[in-house]
A and B are shown apart, each in its own frame.
Chain A
Amino acid sequence: MTEHSLWRFSRALHRAINDRHFEDIEALIDEDVEWALYGPIDMFPFLGARQGKDAVLDVIRQLADNFQVRRFDRESIMLGVDSAASMLRYSLTALDSNKPISLRVAQFAQFRAGKLISMRVLIDTFDLIEQALGRAIHLPKMTSVG
């Protein structure tokens, strides 16, 4: 039984972010990969959509420049033949401030011939921003608008 592509990709991604070892992840990304980390790109330039391997590797380098992964727990995972979805709890350290950041993240990945061809990541971005700021954002109480 061969290992699912997600596991190889996940190991390589964490090695890239924590150890700045990019060779393994580079070999696991398709040239035409589609990539999206949804969130406010004006605050976090590494968020947003990217197309192509070089652009995605650049994002991964930016993640490595900004964060260290202290711990991650998979709360839920589903493996398809060439796809995977998982919900993870990440404990990160923001390298510029040394602040701990705890995030719940959903990943949807698709692979072809063992290489990543699509990655969509959703984050509770409001929570991310509050943690990055180190304080709550005070919003108006709006009981009927949404």
Chain B
Amino acid sequence: MTVEKLNRQRVLHLLDTIAADDLEAALSCCTDDIDFLTHAPIDVLPHMGPCHGKQELREFWRTVQARYSETRYQVPQIVAEGDTVAAYLRVFFKKRSNERIIQVDMAVFYTFRGGQVAQIREIIDSYDLVQQVLEREIGPLITGAGADGV
């Protein structure tokens, strides 16, 4: 099996462990110094800052688990080359608070070292994500018409 096929399988396995809420299995796929970076407004999503190391990533995933009862992934496209894998993901989160589903498309770039994930970089349509999290249009906040203490 080529290293690309192997790494692609490793990414799919990592996603399966996250979807199964098995955080320790997910963390076992990562290096001790795992470096995770996503981009989202921390006003609304304060847990989505950068994470360095397994403990910070564990806390991040625990926060996600605490807020969402279910996580599902679809992988419409995955590209691997050498020690890197890029996955285009469609992710569904079910909110614990009201069981509403948030659907987010994200690009995730994984870098492997010694068969483990050493770096994760995400790009998300963050404007859409914020609207789904808040369950409201944020256009009025931009124009100032709806800054009503949301």
Which residues from chain A sit less than 8 Å from chain B, CB to CB? 38-40, 42, 75-80, 83-87, 104-106, 108, 110, 118, 120, 122-129, 133, 137-146
A123: which of B86, B125, B138, B139 is its contact (CB, 8 Å)?
Answer: B125
Check A105 against B123 for contact (C-beta < 8 Å). Answer: yes
Check B142 against A106 for contact (C-beta < 8 Å). Answer: no
Indicate whether A78 sits within 8 Å of B84 (C-beta atoms), given known contacts A122-B124, A139-B130.
Answer: yes
CB-defined A-B contacts under 8 Å, sample of 7: A38-B125, A78-B86, A125-B127, A138-B43, A138-B147, A146-B95, A146-B102
Check B39 against A127 for contact (C-beta < 8 Å). Answer: yes
Check A78 against B80 for contact (C-beta < 8 Å). Answer: yes
Stretch at the interface among B19-27, B52-60, B103-111: B103-111
The reply to whether the CB of B150 lies closer than 8 angstroms to some CB of chain A is: yes
Of A86, A104, A142, chain B has the most CB atoms within 10 Å of the CB of A142
Q: Contacts of B45 on A, CB cut-off 8 Å?
A: 142, 146
Check A124 against B141 for contact (C-beta < 8 Å). Answer: no
Q: Contacts of B134 on A, CB cut-off 8 Å?
A: 139-140, 142, 145-146
Q: Contacts of A76 on B, CB cut-off 8 Å?
A: 84, 86, 109, 111, 121
Shortest CB distance A127–B (Å): 7
A145: which of B39, B133, B142 is its contact (CB, 8 Å)?
Answer: B133
Check B109 against A108 for contact (C-beta < 8 Å). Answer: no
Q: Contacts of A122 on B, CB cut-off 8 Å?
A: 88, 105-107, 123-125
